[in-house]
Structure 1
Protein backbone atom coordinates (compact mmCIF):
# COMPACT_ATOMS: atom_id res chain seq x y z
CA UNK A 1 0.00 0.00 0.00
CA UNK A 2 2.81 2.45 0.73
CA UNK A 3 5.14 1.09 -1.93
CA UNK A 4 6.49 3.27 -4.69
CA UNK A 5 4.45 3.79 -7.84
CA UNK A 6 6.14 3.18 -11.17
CA UNK A 7 8.87 5.77 -11.90
CA UNK A 8 6.50 7.74 -14.10
CA UNK A 9 3.08 8.48 -12.67
CA UNK A 10 0.53 9.32 -15.38
CA UNK A 11 0.42 12.98 -16.43
CA UNK A 12 -3.15 13.58 -15.18
CA UNK A 13 -2.16 12.37 -11.71
CA UNK A 14 1.02 14.44 -11.72
CA UNK A 15 -1.00 17.50 -12.79
CA UNK A 16 -3.58 16.96 -10.04
CA UNK A 17 -0.83 16.39 -7.47
CA UNK A 18 1.08 19.49 -8.57
CA UNK A 19 -1.98 21.73 -8.45
CA UNK A 20 -2.87 20.31 -5.03
CA UNK A 21 0.62 21.11 -3.77
CA UNK A 22 0.28 24.67 -5.10
CA UNK A 23 -3.06 24.97 -3.28
CA UNK A 24 -1.25 23.90 -0.13
CA UNK A 25 1.43 26.54 -0.63
CA UNK A 26 -1.23 29.21 -1.19
CA UNK A 27 -2.95 28.23 2.05
CA UNK A 28 0.36 28.39 3.91
CA UNK A 29 0.95 31.88 2.47
CA UNK A 30 -2.53 32.89 3.62
CA UNK A 31 -1.62 31.67 7.11
CA UNK A 32 1.44 33.93 7.13
CA UNK A 33 -0.63 36.87 5.89
CA UNK A 34 -3.22 36.21 8.58
CA UNK A 35 -0.55 36.28 11.29
CA UNK A 36 0.89 39.48 9.80
CA UNK A 37 -2.50 41.18 10.00
CA UNK A 38 -3.27 40.25 13.62
CA UNK A 39 -4.72 42.93 15.84
CA UNK A 40 -5.57 42.86 19.51
CA UNK A 41 -9.31 42.84 18.87
CA UNK A 42 -9.22 39.67 16.84
CA UNK A 43 -6.19 37.88 18.19
CA UNK A 44 -7.89 34.56 18.98
CA UNK A 45 -9.78 34.39 15.69
CA UNK A 46 -6.70 35.40 13.70
CA UNK A 47 -4.46 32.81 15.36
CA UNK A 48 -6.93 29.96 14.98
CA UNK A 49 -7.52 30.90 11.34
CA UNK A 50 -3.76 31.02 10.71
CA UNK A 51 -3.24 27.63 12.38
CA UNK A 52 -6.09 26.13 10.33
CA UNK A 53 -4.73 27.53 7.04
CA UNK A 54 -1.20 26.35 7.87
CA UNK A 55 -2.30 22.84 8.88
CA UNK A 56 -4.64 22.43 5.91
CA UNK A 57 -1.97 23.80 3.57
CA UNK A 58 0.66 21.45 4.94
CA UNK A 59 -1.74 18.51 4.57
CA UNK A 60 -2.44 19.39 0.92
CA UNK A 61 1.23 19.91 0.18
CA UNK A 62 2.08 16.52 1.68
CA UNK A 63 -0.83 14.77 -0.06
CA UNK A 64 0.15 16.27 -3.41
CA UNK A 65 3.63 14.86 -3.02
CA UNK A 66 2.67 11.49 -1.52
CA UNK A 67 -0.06 10.57 -4.04
CA UNK A 68 2.55 10.26 -6.80
CA UNK A 69 4.60 7.97 -4.57
CA UNK A 70 1.93 5.34 -4.01
CA UNK A 71 0.33 6.56 -0.79
CA UNK A 72 -3.26 5.91 -1.81
CA UNK A 73 -4.82 7.25 1.40
CA UNK A 74 -4.08 10.75 0.13
CA UNK A 75 -6.76 10.65 -2.57
CA UNK A 76 -9.49 11.18 0.05
CA UNK A 77 -8.10 14.43 1.48
CA UNK A 78 -7.28 15.70 -2.01
CA UNK A 79 -10.79 15.11 -3.34
CA UNK A 80 -12.43 16.42 -0.16
CA UNK A 81 -10.40 19.63 -0.41
CA UNK A 82 -11.60 20.10 -3.99
CA UNK A 83 -15.24 19.60 -2.98
CA UNK A 84 -14.76 22.22 -0.28
CA UNK A 85 -13.18 24.52 -2.88
CA UNK A 86 -16.17 24.06 -5.19
CA UNK A 87 -18.50 25.02 -2.34
CA UNK A 88 -16.37 28.06 -1.61
CA UNK A 89 -16.39 29.02 -5.29
CA UNK A 90 -20.18 28.77 -5.33
CA UNK A 91 -20.47 31.01 -2.27
CA UNK A 92 -18.11 33.63 -3.73
CA UNK A 93 -19.94 33.93 -7.06
CA UNK A 94 -21.32 37.31 -8.02
CA UNK A 95 -20.12 40.85 -7.48
CA UNK A 96 -16.49 41.69 -6.85
CA UNK A 97 -15.52 38.10 -6.04
CA UNK A 98 -16.66 36.51 -9.31
CA UNK A 99 -13.15 36.26 -10.74
CA UNK A 100 -11.86 34.62 -7.55
CA UNK A 101 -14.84 32.26 -7.61
CA UNK A 102 -14.11 31.21 -11.18
CA UNK A 103 -10.41 30.69 -10.44
CA UNK A 104 -11.10 28.53 -7.38
CA UNK A 105 -13.71 26.53 -9.28
CA UNK A 106 -11.51 25.92 -12.31
CA UNK A 107 -8.56 24.83 -10.16
CA UNK A 108 -10.77 22.42 -8.20
CA UNK A 109 -12.21 20.94 -11.41
CA UNK A 110 -8.72 20.46 -12.86
CA UNK A 111 -7.65 18.50 -9.78
CA UNK A 112 -10.84 16.43 -9.74
CA UNK A 113 -10.47 15.64 -13.45
CA UNK A 114 -6.83 14.64 -12.93
CA UNK A 115 -7.64 12.44 -9.95
CA UNK A 116 -10.58 10.74 -11.68
CA UNK A 117 -8.85 10.26 -15.02
CA UNK A 118 -8.75 6.54 -15.93
CA UNK A 119 -4.92 6.52 -16.03
CA UNK A 120 -4.79 8.05 -12.54
CA UNK A 121 -7.31 5.59 -11.15
CA UNK A 122 -5.36 2.71 -12.67
CA UNK A 123 -2.08 3.95 -11.19
CA UNK A 124 -3.66 4.47 -7.78
CA UNK A 125 -5.33 1.05 -7.88
CA UNK A 126 -2.05 -0.58 -8.91
CA UNK A 127 -0.31 1.07 -5.96
CA UNK A 128 -3.19 0.06 -3.67
CA UNK A 129 -2.90 -3.56 -4.74
CA UNK A 130 0.78 -3.87 -3.89
Structure 2
Protein backbone atom coordinates (compact mmCIF):
# COMPACT_ATOMS: atom_id res chain seq x y z
CA UNK A 1 0.00 0.00 0.00
CA UNK A 2 2.82 2.41 0.83
CA UNK A 3 4.44 1.75 -2.55
CA UNK A 4 1.13 2.60 -4.23
CA UNK A 5 1.08 5.88 -2.29
CA UNK A 6 4.63 6.51 -3.49
CA UNK A 7 3.64 6.04 -7.12
CA UNK A 8 0.52 8.17 -6.62
CA UNK A 9 2.67 10.93 -5.18
CA UNK A 10 5.05 10.67 -8.14
CA UNK A 11 2.20 11.27 -10.58
CA UNK A 12 0.95 14.35 -8.69
CA UNK A 13 4.26 16.24 -8.48
CA UNK A 14 4.11 19.72 -9.92
CA UNK A 15 6.78 22.38 -10.34
CA UNK A 16 5.64 24.44 -7.35
CA UNK A 17 6.51 21.63 -4.94
CA UNK A 18 9.07 19.63 -6.86
CA UNK A 19 11.53 18.92 -4.03
CA UNK A 20 8.78 17.99 -1.55
CA UNK A 21 7.12 15.71 -4.10
CA UNK A 22 10.34 13.93 -5.06
CA UNK A 23 11.50 13.40 -1.46
CA UNK A 24 8.05 12.21 -0.39
CA UNK A 25 7.95 9.79 -3.32
CA UNK A 26 11.41 8.41 -2.53
CA UNK A 27 10.57 8.07 1.17
CA UNK A 28 7.32 6.20 0.50
CA UNK A 29 8.98 3.86 -2.00
CA UNK A 30 11.86 3.13 0.41
CA UNK A 31 9.45 2.63 3.32
CA UNK A 32 7.38 0.22 1.21
CA UNK A 33 10.48 -1.73 0.23
CA UNK A 34 11.46 -1.92 3.90
CA UNK A 35 8.03 -3.27 4.78
CA UNK A 36 8.45 -5.99 2.16
CA UNK A 37 11.74 -7.00 3.81
CA UNK A 38 10.12 -7.03 7.26
CA UNK A 39 7.23 -9.16 5.95
CA UNK A 40 9.73 -11.56 4.42
CA UNK A 41 11.59 -11.73 7.72
CA UNK A 42 8.37 -12.45 9.61
CA UNK A 43 7.42 -15.19 7.17
CA UNK A 44 10.80 -16.81 7.82
CA UNK A 45 10.54 -16.23 11.61
CA UNK A 46 13.67 -14.06 11.62
CA UNK A 47 14.19 -12.56 15.04
CA UNK A 48 15.25 -9.15 13.68
CA UNK A 49 11.86 -8.60 12.02
CA UNK A 50 9.75 -8.33 15.16
CA UNK A 51 10.96 -4.89 16.26
CA UNK A 52 10.47 -3.19 12.88
CA UNK A 53 7.07 -4.87 12.51
CA UNK A 54 5.89 -3.50 15.85
CA UNK A 55 7.33 -0.07 15.06
CA UNK A 56 5.56 0.13 11.70
CA UNK A 57 2.24 -0.84 13.25
CA UNK A 58 2.62 1.91 15.84
CA UNK A 59 3.26 4.34 12.99
CA UNK A 60 0.14 3.00 11.27
CA UNK A 61 -1.89 3.66 14.43
CA UNK A 62 -0.67 7.26 14.38
CA UNK A 63 -1.61 7.50 10.71
CA UNK A 64 -5.07 6.16 11.55
CA UNK A 65 -5.45 8.89 14.16
CA UNK A 66 -4.49 11.52 11.59
CA UNK A 67 -7.31 10.36 9.27
CA UNK A 68 -9.95 10.50 12.02
CA UNK A 69 -12.84 12.81 11.29
CA UNK A 70 -14.79 13.92 8.29
CA UNK A 71 -14.93 11.86 5.13
CA UNK A 72 -11.77 9.87 5.97
CA UNK A 73 -13.12 8.25 9.16
CA UNK A 74 -13.54 4.88 7.37
CA UNK A 75 -9.88 4.95 6.31
CA UNK A 76 -8.94 5.63 9.91
CA UNK A 77 -10.93 2.66 11.17
CA UNK A 78 -9.46 0.29 8.57
CA UNK A 79 -5.89 1.38 9.37
CA UNK A 80 -6.42 1.10 13.13
CA UNK A 81 -8.09 -2.32 12.95
CA UNK A 82 -5.36 -3.69 10.67
CA UNK A 83 -2.58 -2.35 12.90
CA UNK A 84 -4.24 -3.74 16.04
CA UNK A 85 -4.70 -7.15 14.39
CA UNK A 86 -1.03 -7.31 13.40
CA UNK A 87 0.09 -6.26 16.89
CA UNK A 88 -2.12 -8.92 18.47
CA UNK A 89 -0.70 -11.54 16.09
CA UNK A 90 2.90 -10.50 16.77
CA UNK A 91 2.45 -10.64 20.55
CA UNK A 92 0.67 -14.00 20.65
CA UNK A 93 2.51 -16.70 22.53
CA UNK A 94 3.25 -18.76 19.40
CA UNK A 95 4.62 -15.73 17.54
CA UNK A 96 6.69 -14.66 20.51
CA UNK A 97 8.16 -18.15 20.76
CA UNK A 98 8.91 -18.31 17.03
CA UNK A 99 10.56 -14.88 16.99
CA UNK A 100 12.53 -15.29 20.22
CA UNK A 101 16.25 -14.64 19.96
CA UNK A 102 17.17 -17.84 21.76
CA UNK A 103 18.97 -20.37 19.54
CA UNK A 104 19.18 -22.92 22.36
CA UNK A 105 15.44 -22.93 22.89
CA UNK A 106 15.82 -22.64 26.65
CA UNK A 107 12.92 -21.20 28.61
CA UNK A 108 15.22 -20.14 31.41
CA UNK A 109 16.97 -16.79 31.40
CA UNK A 110 20.74 -16.74 31.65
CA UNK A 111 21.88 -15.45 35.02
Q: Which has the higher contact order (CA 8 A, sep 6+)?
A: 1
Runs ≥4 residues deviating over 3 A: none
Aligned residues: 103
| Greater fraction helix | 1
1:98 aligned to which of 73, 83, 92:
73
With structure 2 as the length reference, what TM-score do the two structures score?
Answer: 0.88
> Does the 8 Å contact 2:5/2:28 carry over to 1?
yes
**TM-score, normalised on structure 1?**
0.75
Deviations 1:15-36 (A, max 9, x none): xxxxxxxxxxx11111111111
Unaligned regions of 5+ residues in structure 2, if any? 104-111
**What is the RMSD computed on CA atoms of the aligned residues?**
1.0
Q: CA deviation at 1:37?
A: 1.1
Which of 59, 83, 93 is 1:108 aligned to? 83
CA distance in 2, matches of 1:92, 1:54: 21
Residue 129 of structure 1 aligns with which residue? 102
Q: Deviation at 1:91?
A: 2.1
Aligned to 1:48: 23
**Max Rg structure:** 2
